[in-house]
Structure 1
Amino acid sequence: MKFTLKQARLLKGFKQTELAQKLGVHVQTYRKMENFPDSVTIGDAKKICEILGMSYDYIFFNNDSTFSREAERGISI
């Protein structure tokens, strides 16, 4: 099963402010990540996966997103 970033965050019991703090970003920056997954850098995605304890495979990013295309090309996350 795949999740949106918001669903994954809620599943793990984090508030936006908490996850933003753990990522070391402003809450507005984190909100942008949830609303616009294409804005998530590979580095931030790695951190998010580590914090949430989930593999990239479980967090849904739109198949048309730049992020997903990079992952398909074999860029390790």
Structure 2
Amino acid sequence: MALSVKKARLLSELSQEQIAEKLNVHRQTYMKWEQNPDDMTVKKAKEFCVIVGIPFDEIFFSRESTLSRQSHTV
């Protein structure tokens, strides 16, 4: 089962601020990516995966995919 960006971060037990710092972006930018992961570049998405220790193909980086998944689980 693929994870949302937020869920992956929570599993890594890192705060939004810690992730943003490691990605070298402002916290506000990272917060927007949690809400709309489509805006994250592939390079930043891959960096994020390394930081949280979860493979790229196990995280949804598409808001549409995440919303679709949520509607099926409700």
Q: What TM-score range do you get, normalising by the shorter chain?
A: 0.7 to 0.9
Q: Larger relative contact order (C-alpha < 8 A, sep ≥ 6)?
A: 2
Q: Which residue in 1 is equivalent to 2:4? A: 4
Supply the AA of the counterpart residue of 2:41: T
Superposed structure 1 runs of 4+ greater than 2 Å apart = 61-65
Root-mean-square deviation (CA, aligned residues, Å) is: 1.6
Structure having the higher helix fraction is 2
- TM-score normalized by structure 1? 0.77
Q: Which residue in 1 is equivalent to 2:14? A: 14
- Identify unmatched segments of 5+ residues in structure 2: 66-74
- TM-score normalized by structure 2? 0.80
